[in-house]
Amino acid sequence: MMNQRKIESIGKIAVIGNYLPRQCGIATFTTDLSQSLARELMTGENLINVAMDDIPEGHNYSSQVKFRVRQNILSDYFWAADYLNANQYEAAIVQHEYGIFGGEDGAHILHMLKFLKMPVITNLHTILENPTDGQRKVMKGLAKYSDRLLVMSKKAIDILVKVYDIDREMIAFIPHGVPDAAFETPGLYNELFGVENKDVILTFGLLGPDKGIESMIEAMPLIVKEHPNVIYLILGQTHPHIIEKSGDSYRHDLQQLVNKLGMKNHIVFHNHFVKLETLVQYLQTSKIYAIPYLKKEQITSGTLSYALGVGTAVVSTPFWHAEELLADGRGKLVPFNSPIEMSKEINNLLSNDQEREMMRFKGYQYGRSMTWKEVAKMHLDLLSVIKERKPLENIQEVVIKYHKIFNELPEINLSHLRTLTDDTGLLQHAKYTTPNLHHGYCVDDNGRALIAVTKYYSLRKDKEVLPLIQKYLAFLFYAFNPENGRFRNFMSYDRRWLELSGSEDSHARALWGLGITVKEAPDSSIRNMAMLLFLDALPIVKHFSSPRAWAYTVLGLQAYLSIYGGDASARKIRDDLARKIYQLFKNNASDEWTWCENTATYANAILPHALIVAGKWIPDQEMYDTGVKSLKWLLKVQTAQDGHLSIIGNNGWLDKNGNRSMFDQQPIEVKGLIDACLDVYIETGDKKWFEESERCLSWFLGQNDLQIPVCDYKTGGCGDGLERQGVNGNQGAESTLAWLISLINMNTAMGLQFHLDKNI
């Protein structure tokens, strides 16, 4: 038992990860580790859990969970760190798996670790030998903000050093924990599980296509031929995320394979997620534990560790963790996806009691050093030698800034958007907050609404917005007139189209919305629908004369090309339209008037934004530089003396002579500036551009000429402009969407910060 002095030196610990009753391997691991740590500390009061929630309503946790983090809500990660700091926790143990944290490649967890003022050790459950650039940056971020990285296999150390260039001294090995179970004779609990007088082969865990269970099922006829008394028991529910995407079709496919092979009497499915005590009984009663995984690159396996530690003979494919744990006669390895070899080894072990008993005894003995009690001690020993964490440079300054951002940044609220949406689509206008049915609908707003909800889904993975995506997409589909290749724009409330074709700008905004939907679509059916409609509506744009229509189309095309980059025709249209805009700037701009027209009018930022996006990807450096230069000019001429944003009013605009309208400032202008600034930030990583986008967003929040908020925190809507006498109280669709898209894009950009950090 650890001495009392060492225990007292460790103090209060927070364990961060998934937690039961959430059904996944990480939740099981975190729960088992936490309970073992609490036992070693001799009090549960000094240990708490911070649980990751993957569903809006959360899970019914035990009282051990003191703080919850919603997976896709970036601010929750900051507030979790703030909570642990404020309550003076002295150490944090993080369970890392790419799929359990929000943000690109799970980068949101780095926002929590960055602000923790205590020593952090991070348990790595997945280490990829061939990571994407994003996954590599997240791993290097984990190394930067952790005091130790923990691995559960020796091979993982070499990968971290060679692939990620992580200092070997930063890495500690602690094995996967196993239950401290008795070494029982197989068959002990057969009657309990309804398999009396059978030789049980077991596989357990959440079911999914990467587990290779088909291969084991295909091996069964060859096993049954030699050992007719055998039964293969598949224990576990289908993974909840697979159920969410495709139902239980995978299990049904497995059952159909069983029937096809005539193995119905020899293969049974126990569709349960069982408690630890029951799982141990399943393992103790089994003669063979089979692991037919398909991928070599699995660095750790809880199911393998449990089977070995309980003393079950193991036959496995040679994934990394199996090669290590089953060495020296502790198990048998067979080639991947080889039912014949799998059946051969299992038949040999079933026929050779002495060899099988020796194998499982070796495994059991090896597992004594891996019991949860021993693993908990290893964690505490490691924490006891880690020195007090050195505060990061300027951490207090950064914390204050984030406090300010998250306190001032309202939660994304779609209530008013839903109010403006009926069975047909999004209504154009509102009288105050009440939908104004007299003005009906338009393609412009439904296209922008499509952008808002697809981006919101991409950010939050909130399934409740899926019907809205379908509704706005259906409106655009109905609006398209195949006879002339154009979108109609205005529809009356009684569903009568008021024109055969809308304006060029409205057509282009519809293309913009469809392009974003292609990029951000939550599933292939929505993407395919958006893609086909996009391509049908694209050709006519080549004949347009509106510069803003060109610009909106360029943005839609760039989003589309992020998925279908090989579409040569789409690339040519993007390039041609961008060069038309660029030519306008070359013909009209000067050092004093960095603009493409004689008057800066509406939706101004869309023009430099198109040059920035196209210039990057064509690539055309002069085009890109022109876009950045004109964006800087737009920001400059719309900055008041005290530094706040002062938008060009739409009642007179701004001309070359300096004549300018100060009011009827429109939210759509602010949104355009934010979008453009964020794209430059994403391209350059220069934080000044993020700060510019923050300054622009502050216009909505009250940092404007009248020093009053334009957005409505309560409804989630936005007033229709800033007028001389105050905010226009009508919360129409265009203004509300300008606010929502701006807020969504800011949240997304904040989540990308670690991917843009050149120091990681």
Cβ-proximal residues to 207 (8 Å cutoff; 6+ apart), any chain: 213, 234, 236, 237, 238, 239, 242, 250, 251, 254
Using DSSP, state whether 639 is helix, strand or coil: strand
Other beta carbons less than 10 A from residue 271's beta carbon: 12
Task: Give yes or no for residue 518 having a pLDDT over 60.
Answer: yes
* Residues 647, 738 contacting (CB under 8 angstroms): no
- pTM, two decimals, is 0.85
Question: Helices (DSSP H) in 261-351: which residue ranges?
Answer: 276-285, 302-310, 320-325, 339-351
Model confidence at 393, pLDDT cuts 50, 70, 90, reads low
Token code pair at residue 5: 């002095």
Question: What is the side-by-side order of every strand in the sheet holding 490-491?
Answer: 427-431, 434-442, 490-491
Give pLDDT, residue 593.
Answer: 95
199-229, pLDDT tens digit by residue? 999 999 888 888 899 999 999 999 999 999 9
By CB neighbour count within 10 A (0-12 exposed, 13-18 middle, 19+ buried), where does 49 fall? Answer: buried
Q: Please report, rounded to a whole number, the percentage of residues in the chain having pLDDT higher than 70.
A: 95
Q: Report the C-alpha gap between 604 and 386 in whole angstroms.
A: 55
Domain map (residue ranges) of the chain: 4-176+376-395, 191-368
Split at pLDDT 50, 70, 90, the class of 1 is very low
- Average of per-residue pLDDT across 372-378: 96
pLDDT at 44 over 70: no
Lowest-pLDDT choice from 327-331, 354-358, 390-394, 632-636: 390-394
pLDDT at 750: 85
How deeply is 64 buried, as exposed, middle or buried, from its count of CB atoms within 10 A (0-12, 13-18, 19+)? middle
CA 309 – CA 178 distance, rounded (Å): 6
Single-letter amino acid code for the residue at 560: Y
Q: What would the mean pLDDT of 244-268 be, rounded to a whole number?
A: 90
pLDDT of residue 8: 53
Of the candidates 344, 340, 323, 346, the residue with the CA atom closest to the CA atom of residue 203: 346
Q: How far apart are CA 756 and CA 133, in angstroms?
A: 11
Superfamily of domain 191-368: Glycogen Phosphorylase B; (3.40.50.2000)
Block residue for tokens 């809880």:
302
Query: Buried b / exposed e across 413-432, counting CB within 10 Å, b at 16+?
Result: bbebbebbbeebbbbbbbee
Average pLDDT, the chain: 93
Task: Assess whether pLDDT exceeds 50 at residue 68.
Answer: yes
What pLDDT was estimated at residue 3? 46
pLDDT (average), residues 687-708: 95
Residue 8 CB partners (closer than 8 Å, separation 6+): none
Considering the segment(s) 4-176+376-395 as one domain, its CATH architecture is: 3-Layer(aba) Sandwich (3.40)
Rounded-to-integer distance, Cα 609 and Cα 624, Å = 9
| Residue with more model confidence, 539 or 10 | 539
